[in-house]
Amino acid sequence: MKALVPFYLLIFTVLAGCSSKNSQVEEIAQSNTRPNIIFIMADDLGYGNLGAYGQKVIKTPHIDQLANEGMKFTQCYSGAAVCAPARSVLITGLHAGHTRVRGNFGEGGVRGLAGLEGRVPLQDEDFTVAEMLQSAGYKTALAGKWGLGEPNTSGEPNKQGFDEFYGFLNQRRAHKYYPEYLWKNKEKIILAGNQEGGQEQYTHDLFTTYALDYIDRSDETPFFLYLPYCIPHNDYEVPDLGSYENEDWTEEAKAYAAMITRMDRSVGQIMQKLKAKGIDDNTIVFFTSDNGAAGFAVDFNLFDDNAPLRGIKRDPYEGGIRVPMIVRYPGKIAENQTNHLPWYFADVLPTLADLTKTEINRELDGESVLPTLLGEKQQIERALYWEFYELKGWRAVRFGDWKAIQQNMHAVDHDPIELYDLSSDIGETKNVSKQRPEIVKQAVQLFETAHIPSPHYKWQYLKKNSAP
């Protein structure tokens, strides 16, 4: 049993599952049936990369069908603008000012096997969504990119609540789609077809095959399958270019589109498997991305990857952190719904706790959005918070329709706070900080209360009072 979260993490938090219950939620609470849970996450997929979100060029029919059969969110956010911290927020239910892993690199971390020093692992005292579901009697599995613990550290998936793991521990290794090995639990699995430059075993397909097999093996016990795919992160490698082969694009652009469509096909295979097993109606499926599209993809100037948002991966603007989110649960979530509730990855853990009727004896930054999923109107009075340690460093907060950003956090003099009204300026083109000083003052207070110091992640010159 892991230790409780330290007392200092109680600041700026919301008790998980404290939202008011409605008839649908009460019905679930009184039911003995617990759904299977599949959480699929793409890597560097932009807000505009799916047909359901306006994509005109890249074909994603199966994911679009997922949206037609469930609920599509227009204002869902990742926990961070880059890989590791986004996953840490998702897994722990704590935002980037509290969660253990707040960046790809941190002081005191270990040297990753293909990476640099500073890979900070989750610790024994960290509480994860997989552990929560294990305590509720779920089987748990992870296939894909982990990024929260190197080999022989406390952050290994099998030490953080996953019964089974197959994939990459180190996120930097996940850049290659034909690696020489993967990890299965704690065993290094050699991929014979990829030795000495071979390209016979494509990891994305291996993860899909594993997922289909896992669903086949899961009968009586409810399961949680976390499927963080590596597509469409560069390198842009794919076994074939499919319908894009003859397009007048660069080879990388064709590969990028083909990777997304290949992932879409995998989602279709998973949904077909659920139907074939007769468990489709008792399985809730989430689909999202870990952050916005990367600059490599945006530079193709073909796909409007983050449209209509400003910025890319690693940016504090919406294009860096707003992500597609689709949730499907037949008979519980009405079909073809579009919802505008602002929420983010920290809300996933308490939502699944609510869904599975699991009590949590600790405070989290997230709040259950189950009422929204079940069609009830829900208003969550809280702020969404992000911080970032790469490049010049930044922090951002959304409260209501206001979005405040402060950049250059590593400098003695931080940049003035930027302020945007997302209700009328989704592209963050009009900085209204000078016109609304009283709102900027609120943002300063939120910044100061949201951040808890970490031994691993520090802005070089964090002033106590970061006035605009």
Q: Answer with the residue of higher pLDDT: 380 or 5.
A: 380
- Please state, rounded to an integer, the average pLDDT across all residues of the chain: 92
Over range 437-448, report the average pLDDT. 97
Is the confidence at residue 328, as pLDDT, over 50?
yes
Q: Indicate if the pLDDT at residue 200 is higher than 60.
A: yes
Q: How confident is the model at residue 467 (pLDDT cuts 50, 70, 90)?
A: very low
> How much of the chain, in percent, has pLDDT values that exceed 90?
87
Q: Which CATH number fits domain 391-450: 3.40.190.10, 3.30.1120.10, 2.130.10.10, 1.20.1540.10?
A: 3.30.1120.10
* Confidence check: pLDDT of 15 > 70: no
The predicted pLDDT at position 198 comes to 97
Residue 4 has pLDDT above 50, yes or no: no
pLDDT in tens, 384-423: 999 999 999 999 999 999 999 999 999 999 999 999 999 9
Residue 303, pLDDT above cutoff 50: yes
How far apart CA 334 and CA 366 sit, in angstroms, is 24
Kindly tell me the burial class for residue 379, based on how many C-beta atoms sit within 10 Å of its own C-beta (0-12, 13-18, 19 or more): exposed
Fold of 10-382: Alkaline Phosphatase, subunit A (3.40.720)
- One DSSP character per residue, 404-417 reads EEEE-TTSSSPPPP
pTM score: 0.93
Say whether 239 sits in a helix, a strand or coil.
coil
pLDDT mean over 203-211? 98
Rounded to whole angstroms, the Cα distance separating 234 from 256 reads 8
Q: Is the pLDDT of residue 9 over 50?
A: no
Task: Supply the pLDDT for residue 10.
Answer: 38
CA distance 204 to 211: 11
Residue 112 confidence (pLDDT): 75
Strand-by-strand arrangement of the 418-421 sheet: 383-388, 394-399, 402-407, 418-421
User: pLDDT grade, residue 16 (50/70/90)?
Assistant: very low
Angstrom distance (rounded) from CA 413 to CA 420 = 21
Q: 116 or 140: which carries more pLDDT confidence? A: 140
pLDDT band of residue 115 (cuts 50, 70, 90) is: low
pLDDT of 464 over the 60 cut: no
- What the block records as the tokens of 237 is 């490698």
* Domain ranges within the chain, ordered by starting residue: 10-382, 391-450
What φ, ψ does residue 223 adopt, rounded to 5°?
A: -130, 155
Least confident of 30-34, 109-113, 426-430: 30-34
Instruction: Output the pLDDT for position 17.
Output: 39
Alpha-helix runs per DSSP H in 153-229:
203-217
The average pLDDT across 234-240 equals 97
pLDDT at 6 over 60: no
Residue 466 tokens read as 């970061």
**% of the chain at pLDDT higher than 70:** 91
Mention every residue, 6+ apart, whose C-beta is less than 8 A from residue 305.
46, 47, 48, 49, 292, 293, 297, 298
Range list of H helices, 141-240: 203-217
pLDDT, one tens digit per residue, over 120-166 is 999 999 999 999 999 999 999 999 999 999 999 999 999 999 999 99
- Asked whether 446 and 11 are in contact (CB, 8 A), the reply is no
How much is the average pLDDT of 200-218?
A: 97
The DSSP call for residue 201 is -
pLDDT at position 30: 57
- Which of the four pLDDT bands, split at 50, 70 and 90, describes residue 460? confident
